[in-house]
Amino acid sequence: MATSGQAGGRYKKLINDPFAVVDEALEGFASAHADLVRLAAPRVVVRRTPAPDKVGFVVGGGSGHEPAFAGYVGLGMADAAACGNVFASPPPDVVLEAIRAASSGRGVVTGYGNYAGDVLNFSLAVELAAAEGIEVREIRVSDDVASAPRNEAEKRRGIAGDIIVFKCVGAAAERGDPLDEVERIARKANAATRSMGVALSACEVPGSGRLTFELPADEIEIGMGVHGEPGIRRGPLEPADEVARALVQTIVADIEGGVAGRPIALLVNGLGATAYLDQYIVYRAARRLLEAAGATVARSYVGEFITSLEMSGASVTVTVLDEELTALLDAPARTPRMVVW
């Protein structure tokens, strides 16, 4: 049985030392976007020009998900990003450094995907920050409906919904909202957001010498996460319309009150190797299904927002909007990988 992977079940990569990928890429990133960001410490990306008086916003997580997370540091989004090794949460001292950089005395919010490693490391950092007198609120994005049932929604992991939540939180902080307000927005945006993804092929953590999983040549994994964590089922490779139907149906069924008559944001995220052509075909299918379910697609985002190295696949994210969230999504942002104007 043929296995997924570029060649011989492995991927060819444009890298040097497999253990240096994160630091080399961050050096490149910081120099390419030096007008917007800089490296405050080895794994800590901060705004070139810090915002003087606002609630700080720190994002972070494992590397290998670019443009997440450093790509969202800048005006209207994050003040700092804490970057870990590939698919590994940054350690507490890196997160603490990011919190310090983001702090201008009005408190800090940290936003990250709900994974065991991130929870452990960020929580420790938050404790350390508190000991330094910095008040930090944590928001664990948990949009992946495939990762836990609705009655255990707090166990769900965070995938592409990160970007919707980060955009809203960043905009709220940027306009000067106080800490409680920014935290409220964070929880509200997270609660309004649901995602589900599908993987067509695996990726390879540099240095691991193997793919993150094996998928038969004619199968896909429905509900897979952004690290190759197994999803809810494997099935044959179906047309994009059918794949989109599986994702959208599960998402819509999870939204209390459904989507009929409601404005939504629709985000399609490519995992890395999926062509834009395919991403827009999935978007088209998802949009048709959501409109058929009575939703009004008020805002759309298509592209690679949070990837899994060179994995092939995509996810669909739906956020039920109101005026407040819509205004925050539309607020200006100028970051290396998201510009809203």
Partner 1 sequence: MNGASLRACVLAAADALEASRDELCRLDAVAGDGDHGVTMALAARAVRQKLEESPGASGADLLALVALGVGSVGGAIGPLYATALLRAATALRGLGTSEGDPTVGEIRACAEAGAAAITGLGHARPGDKTIVDAVAPAVQALADAEATGAGVPEALEAAIAAARAGAESTTGMIATLGRASRLGERGRGSADPGAASFVVALEAAVRTYLGPVGAEPAGA
Ligand X SMILES: Nc1ncnc2c1ncn2[C@@H]1O[C@H](COP(=O)(O)OP(=O)(O)O)[C@@H](O)[C@H]1O
C-beta of 115 vs 301, nearer to Mg ion: 115
Reported as half-sphere exposure (CB side, CA atoms, 13 A), residue 15 has a value of 20
Q: Provide the minimum distance between the beta carbon of 98 and partner 1 in the complex, in angstroms, as a whole number.
A: 13
Residue choice 48, 280, 326, 327 for contact with a second copy (CB under 8 A): 280
- CA 157, 163, 160: angle at the middle one, nearest 5? 45
Question: Are the CB atoms for 338 and 77 separated by under 8 Å?
Answer: yes
Active site residue 227: yes
Please state at what angle helix 179-191 crosses helix 323-330, rounded to 10 degrees: 100
DSSP secondary-structure letter at 211? B
Q: Among Mg ion, a second copy, partner 1, none, what does residue 243 contact (CB within 5–8 Å per kind)?
A: a second copy
6 near a second copy, judged by CB under 8 A = yes
Q: Name the pairing type of β-strands 312-320 and 193-201.
A: antiparallel
Q: Among partner 1, Mg ion, ligand X, none, what does residue 148 contact (CB within 5–8 Å per kind)?
A: partner 1
Q: Among Mg ion, a second copy, partner 1, none, what does residue 240 contact (CB within 5–8 Å per kind)?
A: a second copy
Q: Which stretch binds a second copy (CB under 8 A): 26-34, 130-138, 223-231, 256-264?
A: 26-34
Taking alpha carbons only, the member of 293, 297, 282, 203 closest to residue 247 is 282
Q: Provide the minimum distance between the beta carbon of 61 and ligand X in the complex, in angstroms, as a whole number.
A: 10
Where is 153: in which H helix or E strand?
none
Q: Among partner 1, ligand X, a second copy, none, what does residue 230 contact (CB within 5–8 Å per kind)?
A: partner 1
Q: Provide the minimum distance between the beta carbon of 62 and Mg ion in the complex, in angstroms, as a whole number.
A: 6
Query: At 160, is the secondary structure helix, strand, or coil?
Result: coil
- Structure tokens, 117: 């490693």
Q: Among ligand X, partner 1, a second copy, none, what does residue 150 contact (CB within 5–8 Å per kind)?
A: none
Distance between CA 317 and CA 152 in Å, rounded?
A: 19
Residue choice 120, 130, 217, 253 for contact with a second copy (CB under 8 A): 217
Q: Sign of torsion, CA 255 258 262 264?
A: positive
Distance between CA 55 and CA 288 in Å, rounded?
A: 39
Q: Which residues bind ligand X (CB under 6 A)?
A: 87-88, 116-117
Residue choice 126, 200, 264, 290 for contact with a second copy (CB under 8 A): 200
Active site residue 33: no
Q: Which of residues 49-68 bind a second copy (CB under 8 A)?
A: 63-64, 66-67
- What residues are labeled active site? 65, 227
